[in-house]
Structure 1
Amino acid sequence: MNKNEFLNSIFSEDKLTLSNIFDKINLAIKIRKTVYTNEFYTPDICNGLCRLANSLGIQIMQYGIFENSERNMLAFSEQEVDYFPVGLIKIENKSKFNNLTHRDYLGAIMSIGINRNKFGDLIVVDNSCFVAVSKDILSYIIDNLSSIGKCSCNIYELEPVSYNIPKIKFEEFTIIVSSLRLDCLVSSICNISRSKAVELISRGNIFLNYTLEKEKDYDVAFGTTITIRGYGKYKLIGDIGVTAKNRIKVLIKKFV
């Protein structure tokens, strides 16, 4: 498979990232050794790559520390690997008066110059946040992150063993929609008018499986991750029935 065929086989707008991944795959095949990415990738890229593994003639494995992690580091190898250059850090909010959210921790890490692809999922538990990070920037984060907003914090590395790793949490709820059109779903998920939902879509505030979507009448498939800027990230789980008026009951999970 040549590079153009590879780029056209994975649905992602980030062709530069895909091109760099293709080069790493070819390097692993050439030197016959395991090659890792040093970044984390979203499901659209990870799942697309794994589907191409047989065609590429190499094993493609992904790892993000957390069970069912959304963002994962990749390894390209002739055989199974049991090591990834991924570390786990814990950030403890020292303030007893201010609760911090996922957005607060995410913004604080990026504010010290860390690219979003250099760390994976963040899980907030009580007054702490657990973050999967690339080993090459782990020490930099520990040395340079001293506060989250106005809240001072403690930060340190954890061994990624089962008792240290929290599970990704969701809040489940049900919506009722006339169809799985994007504008219908956004309106119901956010509890806003259809016109407001269309406005969010047209402004580029909606991402499906981490890819921008600006078509209000796009039919969204079950299993899709919907990110709505200003509202949160959601998973469209499935159809759980219909109402007497033949409207669809849909189960939604919100990442918390």
Structure 2
Amino acid sequence: MNTDNILSHFHPDEHRFVDKATEWVERAEQHAAKLTDFLDPRQAFIVTTLVNRTTDVQVRWYGGHESAERKRALIAPDYRELDSEDMGITLIAVTSLDDRLKDLDHGDYMGSILALGMKREKIGDIHVTEHGCHFLVATEVADYMRLNLQQVHRIHVQTEQLPIDRLQASDTKLEENSLSVASLRLDGIVSDVYHMSRAKVLIPIKAGRCKVNWKQEEDPSKPLRSGDVVSLQGFGRFKVLDIEGITKKGRYRVKIGKYV
């Protein structure tokens, strides 16, 4: 596989992952299967692109539920039957007798999980419910997580391992808002969404802390389109729900949804 030709299609900061994924595919061509950690949609796109370049390799995706965002991949020779393979995903439920648990959000649970020294790649989707949280984790670290996750945002919690089919998947919640912007540039929309000056927004964008559709984006002038998902490190993420039109003054009406 011509690695140089492949790398030219991806952002330089993605090259390390592309090299790693290329190795997985090449090993599968040599009859060795690879079960990856949880991958985000951009990484999944890269793996799928590489697998599609050969007829000798296949990939199975699984994230614990049908609409999972983060999934593990099993990359294997094309003759291998993958449907019955164990994908190494465990469901952990977090509960508490403390009424304040209902006020916790996705970021609270994520922060507490990562504070245990856990790599993000070992964690799948996190589903916040009225009674706590269900999250998916790589089976190889499930016992460690279950035994050590005892507090979330200073609230004492209990953890329990459950069968995958008992997952309570939460609906994605978006806080909708309409903006009037001079252009569809990334920096302009991000500054309006997070109520920051454009000068301040340029700093994290140019430092590589902004992603569009899970791909690092350092060009502040990149035009956004309906359906784009934008994340800014430390501020969360939002989705461009619709480009509603242009006002009489030539400004764009944009509907966005902030993930909550």
Query: Do they superpose with TM above 0.5?
Result: yes
In the alignment, which of 137, 149, 152 is matched to residue 141 of structure 2? 137
Unpaired segments of 5 or more residues in structure 2? Answer: none
1:194 and 2:192 correspond: no
5 Å matches for 1:115-126? 115-126=119-130
CA contact (8 A) 1:10 1:49 kept: no
Q: TM-score, normalised by structure 1?
A: 0.85
Does the C-alpha gap of structure 1 residues 249 and 68 become closer, same or farther in structure 2, counting only changes over 3 Å?
farther
In the alignment, which of 164, 171, 175 is matched to residue 167 of structure 1? 171
Shift of 1:47: 1.4
Does the C-alpha gap of structure 1 residues 117 and 185 become closer, same or farther in structure 2, counting only changes over 3 Å?
same
CA contact (8 A) 2:100 2:155 kept: no
User: Which residue in 2 is equivalent to 1:27?
Assistant: 27
CA contact (8 A) 1:87 1:134 kept: yes
CA contact (8 A) 2:123 2:136 kept: yes
Shift of 1:13: 1.5
The 1-side partners of 2:16 and 2:91 are apart by 28
Does the C-alpha gap of structure 1 residues 250 and 82 become closer, same or farther in structure 2, counting only changes over 3 Å?
farther
1:214 and 2:218 correspond: yes
- Higher mean C-alpha deviation, range 157-166 or range 97-106: 157-166
CA RMSD, aligned part only?
2.6
Does the C-alpha gap of structure 1 residues 183 and 16 become closer, same or farther in structure 2, counting only changes over 3 Å?
closer
5 Å matches for 1:1-256? 1-11=1-11, 13-31=13-31, 34-37=33-36, 39-57=37-55, 58-77=57-76, 78=78, 81=83, 83=85, 84-97=87-100, 99-161=103-165, 164-202=168-206, 204-256=208-260
Q: TM-score, normalised by structure 2?
A: 0.84
CA contact (8 A) 2:240 2:255 kept: yes
Shift of 1:158: 2.2
CA contact (8 A) 2:108 2:152 kept: yes
In percent, how many aligned pairs have the same letter?
26
Q: How many equivalent pairs are there?
A: 254
- Partner-residue secondary structure (3-state), 1:26: helix
The 2-side partners of 1:135 and 1:7 are apart by 32
The 2-side partners of 1:149 and 1:8 are apart by 43
Unpaired segments of 5 or more residues in structure 1? Answer: none
Does the C-alpha gap of structure 1 residues 200 and 52 become closer, same or farther in structure 2, counting only changes over 3 Å?
closer
